[in-house]
Structure 1
């Protein structure tokens, strides 16, 4: 009988070792680390321990992510509740800046509203015609943007602080009318660390937060 036939027989007869348990104690296989011979049962126990360790590591990673998401949701809830009590655009900007700085540890923040008319607010405003050529590549993407800005984008959004901003998260403040996206402004968050804003894990939360802030802002716009 060839080796292939033995393998085929054992695959087709999974109950073989149940009928011959004593055989398991006599079989030996190479040790996965030092190469010495160990029994098949010892090898199975070793593999099971390795699997348990891997599952435990994955479980602990998922628990850590769940705790992080829970903390983020609590901070978001605080932001929304505080914004609901705002009666002016300046109140709104002040609350957003406070929560972003204290709860989310954001180093730099800039809010720009797009308007052709003067607004009753200290928030910086710019016409869409002036902002669109600079921000069009970033805003052309669906949802929020995470990463490094161009020099022109950074200077437009962060002005005198642009040289200190190494990575950014840009949240468009929009409304949707008849299937068309209307840009009312942007909220730019900046960090002095290059990879602070991670697009792989942060975009879903940022999109969620941008939608909430957009809805809250629309209540206060004239």
Structure 2
């Protein structure tokens, strides 16, 4: 009988070892780590332990993610509640900077509003005609941007601090009018660490925060 025939026979007779339990203790197979011979039952126990450890590791990972998300939501709630009490654009900018630095450990922050009006605010402003050629590739994406900026983008957003910014998260501040997206500005977050802003993990939260901050900003714009 060939090896293939043995395999086929065992597949077609799944109760074989139930009818021949003593055989399980006589079979010897290599240990997966040190190579010594062990019984099939011992091998099954080792496999079950490995599967259990894998499941436990995945469970621990999911718990850690859930706790991280809960912490982020609490920080976001604090940000929203504080912004709701703002009565001016400067109040709004101050609250955003305070919470981002204290709660989210953001090293560098820049807010730019796109307008040609003279606003009663210390927030930096630029016309859309100035900003669009520099930021168009980034703003052409749907939602927020995470990653490394070009030299021109970084200098426009972070100015004198641009050389220190290694990775960024850019949140557009927008409204939707007649099915069209209108850009009112951007909130740029920067880090001195290259991998600080993870687009695989953080984009959903950033999009959520971008929508909230956009709504809160529109209350204060003339």
* TM-score over 0.5 for the pair: yes
Tell me what 1:56 maps to. 56
TM-fit CA distance, 1:103: 0.2
Cα distance in 2 for partners of 1:175, 1:44 equals 59
Tell me what 1:148 maps to. 148
Tell me what 2:135 maps to. 135
Q: How does 1:67-216 map to 2 (within 5 A)?
A: 67-216=67-216
Give aligned pairs, total: 222
Tell me what 1:10 maps to. 10
Cα distance in 2 for partners of 1:33, 1:147 equals 41
1:128-163 Cα deviation digits (max 9, x unpaired): 011000100111111111111111111111111111
Cα distance in 2 for partners of 1:72, 1:63 equals 14
Q: CA RMSD in A?
A: 1.0
Cα distance in 2 for partners of 1:209, 1:198 equals 15
TM-fit CA distance, 1:102: 0.4
- Kindly indicate whether residue 39 of structure 2 is the aligned counterpart of residue 39 of structure 1: yes
1:44-93 Cα deviation digits (max 9, x unpaired): 00111111111111111111111111111110010011111111111111
Query: Which deviates further from its counterpart, 192-201 or 92-101?
Result: 192-201
Structure 1 residues without counterparts, runs of 5 or longer: none
TM-score, normalised to structure 2's length? Answer: 0.97
Structure 2 residues without counterparts, runs of 5 or longer: none
TM-fit CA distance, 1:174: 0.5
- Secondary structure, aligned partner of 2:65: helix
Q: Which runs of 4+ in 1 moved over 3 A?
A: none
TM-fit CA distance, 1:2: 2.1
Cα distance in 1 for partners of 2:14, 2:175 equals 62
